[in-house]
Amino acid sequence: MTDVLTTDEGALGRIRLNRPKALHALNTAMCQAMLHALDTWEADPTIEAILIDHAEGRGFCAGGDIRMIAESGAGGGKNAADFFRVEYRMNHRLFTYPKPIITFMDGITMGGGVGISLPAKFRVATENTKFAMPETGIGLFPDVGGGWYLSRLPGRMGEYIALTGHRLDGAECLALGLASHYLPAERLEEAKARMAEAPDQIESILNTLVAPAPQARILAHRDVIDRLFASSTLEGIVAVLEADDSEWAQQQRATLRTKSPQAMKVSLRLLAEGRAMPSFADEMRQEYAVATRVGRLPDFAEGVRAVILDKDNAPKWNPATPEGVTQNQIDAIFAPLPDHESWKPA
């Protein structure tokens, strides 16, 4: 079975993720296939727009090939580095693509799925959307441009999502600007068929088919998120959470106790620097350096063991506390790679 289906449908180039048993999680070959299709369609004057969705099964895209990355990290990291290099080139290609892109975030949209969705001009959420960057729970960080996208959310919403891995629904994605449109899932096939017939009318087609989104529950917590997650340090955020005896604050503190302190510090630094990053290519260059290092650290192997392999959900992080993660350790993770090893766009 082909893990990525690429077809020409009228003046649309269509990419369908087709790895249903893995919730369409990306591997290196899938990213290469998508890059090849994008290159082909850019040079084809008959193709006016690109549509990205998933084939059978639930979930748009649950992330990347975590098992492979963990196995590679334990043995030197070459395959993981190759995956990150190709995936980030695909992310950058989507971000800079000259033709309109439409993504349908119908179902689970996490990690690598976020990296495919957010570069698109048109990002369609539905009642099935489950959007998250849950990487700190396995010792990683919100990559695939997470430092760029999350840092540009209002207030401290990006820090909250990055640290806790909070899962957003479709209405919340629309309210935060992560989605451009909200459609009932039952209208998606009509939207796609109409786009194939009139790819120059994508925005008006979506505007015709949208439905009022439910209330975005996350907005009720916006002010408290801005207050509780205001500190630039993990220790500061934890201290504020511990001093707040409200039920919601204590729920967030309990969530952070399950996450890798090292991964949370990496995530905070990523967003802080992402706000001022000159270009998306610069963002991906930095994330590649960070990813190739974090993927070889013990917390990632332990997170994969606890959450994906043994499923005991009881990771033993090392260091176990925010205070145990030193500034020198974070600086080493963020150090630029030598030029011959660094990430470059396709």
Which pLDDT does position 105 carry in this prediction?
Answer: 98
- Res 120 pLDDT > 80: yes
- Cβ proximity of 107 and 60 under 8 Å: yes
Whether 145 is covered by a domain: the verdict is: yes
Percent of the chain whose predicted confidence (pLDDT) is above 90:
93
Whether 203 is covered by a domain: the verdict is: yes
Tell me the average pLDDT across 46-72.
89
From residue 299, give the alpha-carbon distance in Å to each of 141, 240, 260, 293.
11, 25, 7, 11
- Res 67 pLDDT > 90: no
DSSP H helices in 21-169: 28-42, 66-73, 78-96, 112-117, 146-149, 157-164
More confident residue, 58 or 17: 17
Q: Per DSSP, what are the bridge partners of residue 50?
A: 13, 101
Burial class (CB in 10 A: 0-12, 13-18, 19+), 58: middle
Which pLDDT does position 59 carry in this prediction?
Answer: 86
Catalytic residues: 64, 112, 135, 143
Q: How many structural domains are present in the chain?
A: 1
Tell me the average pLDDT across 105-123.
97
Percent of the chain whose predicted confidence (pLDDT) is above 70:
100
- Res 75 pLDDT > 80: no
Whether 346 is covered by a domain: the verdict is: no
| Strand (E) or helix (H) holding 235 | helix 234-243
Prediction pTM value: 0.96
pLDDT grade, residue 68 (50/70/90)?
A: confident
Whether 343 is covered by a domain: the verdict is: no
From residue 32, give the alpha-carbon distance in Å to each of 27, 38, 193, 281, 345.
9, 10, 27, 18, 13
pLDDT grade, residue 1 (50/70/90)?
A: confident
pLDDT grade, residue 69 (50/70/90)?
A: confident
CATH number of the domain within which 290 lies: 3.90.226.10
Tokens (6 digits) for 135: 């990487």
Whether 340 is covered by a domain: the verdict is: no
Which among 1, 124, 119 is positioned nearest to 53, based on CA atoms? 124
More confident residue, 56 or 195: 195
Domain assignment of residue 268, given as a range: 4-334
